Structure 1
Amino acid sequence: MSEYQVTIGIEIHCELKTKTKMFSGAPTSFGEVANTQTSVIDLGHPGCLPCVNKEAVRLAIKACGGLHCTIDPLVKFDRKNYYYSDLPKGFQITQQFHPIGKDGYVTIQTEDGPRQIRVERIHMEEDTAKQFHKETGTYIDFNRAGTPLVEIVSRPDMHSAAEAAAYVEALRRILFYLNVSDVKMEEGSMRCDVNISISNDPEKLGTKVEIKNLNSIANVQKAVQAEIERQTALLEAGEPIEQATRRFDEPTKATVLMRKKEGTVDYKYFPEPNIFPIQLDQSWIDSILNSLEELPEARMARFQKDFGLSEYDSSVLVNDRDMADFYEEVMKTAREAKKAANWVIVEMAAWLNKNNLSFAKNPASAADLASLVNLIDEGTISGKQGKEVFEDVMKGRKPEEVIKEKGMQQVSDDSTLIAMINQVLDENPKSIEDFKNGKKRAVGFLMGQVMKASKGQANPKKANGLLVQELSKR
């Protein structure tokens, strides 16, 4: 496969996080009863004029800022004309000729280090309705019609399935961190179309094949890899690749033909006559760009610098903004950054997953988890006891109360521990003899007896040191 040049470009439609639609006052609530979130404007009734949603423009500017795009302060809209049952007006209002942003980039992580994927353009438009195909016919829900979108078009800068997935993930994180969109691919608020071509001539692109409506990062990678393998097999068999639109079939892990393309569709674009060009005030644009939220890359760098975390731990935390927010709250009082990160990334994430919860609905207090980490670190309780206390912390309880209630206070006093150790040694003379004969496992056995005698409350680290000290005196 290495002799073939794989070229990948991606188009992403992302719903903007507004309360109302792009050109009307209808709500954008997801999951409502079909055809209850509509307006005569979105349904294309005669005589109804569109009015541009200012908040949608603000969010589009934020997206441009996060993707390092040049912003066009003159907002113009165009009509894209085509007839389809999910397009009530018979045309879509979009920005074909004057996108709000262009010439940006997204940085992705690859096996060879970070790499920039160029963004050709970002433009605003309205969404279509949604169709449901059933045995009794096709049904249309117009709730989605008119929802504000940005379409983000990359340059063909990706060359593998892994790079395509990394690009979509990086883009998703940026838009989520900027509060531009909730980017829930499973709900359709972020939809992905991938264009792939394969050529055995590095100077020429192959025939472009489009894969439509990929609904998860994992499926982006699987679909692209499947299509690369399909096209490679055709080339090696001497068969032509036809320009077409395909979809990814999850059960078979293969791409399936939807329709063949003979050429470019003529949408007969022309300027939208009912929306005059809007000149944005530069000071308004600047105020938006100057107040952007911290981006994922910057947060990762800060976590490594301020908390001394590894790149991996920082990446895991930053991948989930709510997890990263919680960790920062924990670190306001926790003393050990790495240990706190482990509790958040491993124990807490597993508990939430097991209980079908997210960090946004985390029942535990950050201050209480920080207290638990500190209590373990200072030896008040052992790590094993900490896991038991953690279960109660995740139910909203304070670790100090749980420790007191369960009598878990760890014994760290030297004189108390030495008394326990000597009692154990007196009861196990054979183990003392084994230790003197070089049998190191004797220490492990004796430590077990000390922990048993203390009902698990002896400070293991301190007890082990004192045990070896007392053994050497015998």
Structure 2
Amino acid sequence: MNKEKSQILVGLEIHITLKSKKKIFNWTDTYTENVAPNSQISPWELGYLGVLPIINPECIELALKLALALQAKISPVIIFDRKIYHYYDLPKGYQITQYRQTLANSGYLPLITPNGEVKNIPLKNLQLEEDTAKSFYTEEGIELDFNRAGNPLIELVTEPIFHNSEETMLFLRQLQNLLRYLDISEAKMEKGQLRVDLNFSLNLADDYQTPRYEVKNLNSFNSIERVLKYETNKHQQLWKEKKTPPLSQTFGFDEKKQITIPQREKTDYFYLPESNIPPIKINQKDIQKIAKKIPVLPWIKWEQLIKNGVNPAKANLIIEKPMLLKSINFLEKKGIFSTEK
């Protein structure tokens, strides 16, 4: 048995910035990092009294598009909640998210493995929420840029299904390709459009089983791989020294030192219903319209290519390039090109 498989269990919380023209609860343009700091904000992000949220329907449509592609079970009614916490990046003291009932749950992403198999990765839920301000930690203190605050986010949560870093990274890359292929998000990690919270626990022996740990806001594939390697090595050393694993904690990742840094013990948040946004009933006719706009999905196209004699390695290359896959779909639709024999 692969040694790593007996050591680690990983789940992912993935924050995806939607490719909508406007933010989710006001009509400020969605921030894309092309403007000066704190120049693309409104009274909503700054927590001014009396300012009410107005839901952006484009965000709901994009979230439903992803839910349909992932075969998730869509809730008949959309409701929002307030996640109460006090921190610099959220002046109003709460974040609008979904807690009691997420937009969709279950579903799966068909993962195309290097050996030519398709493995369904189960998903827990998919929900809509608003982003917070971006924090910069300096020697003088914390600096804040509120341009990102209020950006529309999908939070996609997987089941704790991954047993090694290779499969974890493969899932994230294929999810990123899907988001770009469906025009749901640009999903650029370097711009914070795809951020990952890594949840994991380790089981090194009968006498060394850790609680669940979380590393927040990882924004590169390299960082995710390094965190998994660093934490596994750290706990192997603790086990050799016969030390008890630390309590469940939340970590940050220091890019310069390449180490995780404890931030706080894991705590439960306090939630209240968001009374300023009434429940939104999802119309089945609208869902059908969205479903018709979804092109042939990558894993279906991959199976078609394999069925028609395309080498698996070449089929993998095609689905890894969203623009190439779109071009093939366009040419097939026009009758110029076909993957059929």
Is this a same-fold pair by TM over 0.5? yes
Say if 2:44 is the partner of 1:41: yes
Output the CA distance in 1 between the equivalents of 2:26 and 2:162: 37
Say yes or no: does 1:167 pair with 2:171: yes
Change (3 A) 1:336 1:77: closer
Query: Is residue 192–residue 213 contact of structure 1 (8 Å, CA) maintained in 2?
Result: yes
1:184 aligns with 2:185: no
Distance 1:54 1:333, change over 3 A: closer
**Number of the residue aligned with 1:22:** 24
Match of 1:227 in 2: 231
Deviation of 1:11 (Å): 0.4
User: 1:329–1:59: structure 2 CA closer, same or farther, 3 Å change rule?
Assistant: closer
C-alpha separation in 2, matches of 1:205 and 1:57: 41
RMSD of aligned residue pairs (Cα, Å) = 2.6
Instruction: Report what 1:282 is aligned to.
Output: 284
Give 1:58's match in structure 2, choosing from 57, 61, 66: 61
Q: Which digits, 9 at most, give the CA deviation of each residue in 1:203-253, with x for residues without a partner?
A: x9631121222222233223222222222332233222212222344455x
CA contact (8 A) 2:112 2:119 kept: yes
Structure 1 or 2: more helix by fraction: 1
In the alignment, what sits opposite 1:123? Answer: 127
Show the counterpart of 1:215: 219
CA gap 1:181/1:205 in 2 versus in 1, 3 angstroms: farther
Is structure 2 residue 272 aligned with structure 1 residue 270? yes
Answer 1 or 2: higher relative contact order, Cα 8 Å, separation at least 6.
2
Q: Tell me, in whole angstroms, the C-alpha distance in 2 between the residues paired with 1:221 and 1:110.
A: 18
Match of 2:90 in 1: 87
**8 Å contact 2:9–2:201 — kept in the other structure?**
yes
* Cα displacement (A) at 1:110: 4.2
CA distance change for structure 1 residues 304 and 116 in 2, over 3 Å: closer, same or farther? closer
Deviation at 1:323, TM superposition (A): 3.3
Change (3 A) 1:319 1:96: same
Deviation of 1:301 after TM superposition, in Å, equals 2.6
Q: TM-score, normalised by structure 1?
A: 0.65
Q: Measure, in 1, the Cα distance between the counterparts of 2:15 and 2:262.
A: 20
Residue-pair matches, total: 332
Could you report, residue by residue, the CA deviation over 1:322-353 in whole angstroms, capped at 9, with x for unpaired residues? 2334567789879999xxxxxxxxxxxxxxxx
Match of 2:312 in 1: 311
Name which of 89, 99, 121 aligns with 1:96: 99
Q: Secondary structure, in 3 states, of the residue corresponding to 2:144?
A: strand
> What TM-score, normalized to structure 2?
0.88
Structure 1 residues 23 and 255 mapped into 2: Cα distance closer, same or farther (>3 Å)?
A: same
Do 2:331 and 2:338's aligned partners in 1 also have CA atoms closer than 8 Å?
A: no
Change (3 A) 1:326 1:58: closer
Are the aligned partners of 2:251 and 2:263 in contact in 1 as well (CA < 8 Å)? yes
Q: Secondary structure at the match of 1:290?
A: helix
Is the contact between residue 71 and residue 101 of structure 1 (CA under 8 Å) also seen in structure 2?
Answer: yes
Partner of 1:134: 138
> Of 202, 209, 226, which aligns to 1:198?
202
SS at the partner of 1:172?
helix
Contact persistence 1:198–1:232 (CA under 8 A): no
Give 1:130 shift: 0.9
When residues 166 and 179 of structure 1 are mapped into structure 2, their CA distance, relative to the original with a 3 A threshold, is same
Residue type matched to 2:267 in 1? T
- Of Structure 1 and Structure 2, which has the larger fraction of its residues in strand? 2
- Tell me the alpha carbon deviations over residues 395-441 of structure 1, each in whole angstroms, 9 at most, x when there is no partner: xxxxxxxxxxxxxxxxxxxxxxxxxxxxxxxxxxxxxxxxxxxxxxx
Distance 2:176 2:337 in 1: 30
Which range moved further: 308-317 or 55-64? 308-317
* Inter-partner Cα distance in structure 2 for 1:336 and 1:21: 39
Cα separation, 1, equivalents of 2:273 and 2:224: 34
Q: Rate the CA distance shift 1:91–1:165 in 2: closer, same or farther, 3 A.
A: same
Q: Which residues in structure 2 correspond to 1:378-393 (within 5 Å)?
A: none
Once the two structures are superposed, the pairs formed by residues 268-417 of structure 1 within 5 Å of their partners are 268-305=270-307, 308-326=309-327
Could you list the runs of 5+ residues in structure 2 that have no partner in the other structure?
A: none
**1:300 Cα deviation (Å)?**
2.1
- Pick closer, same or farther for the CA change 1:197–1:282 going to 2, 3 Å: same
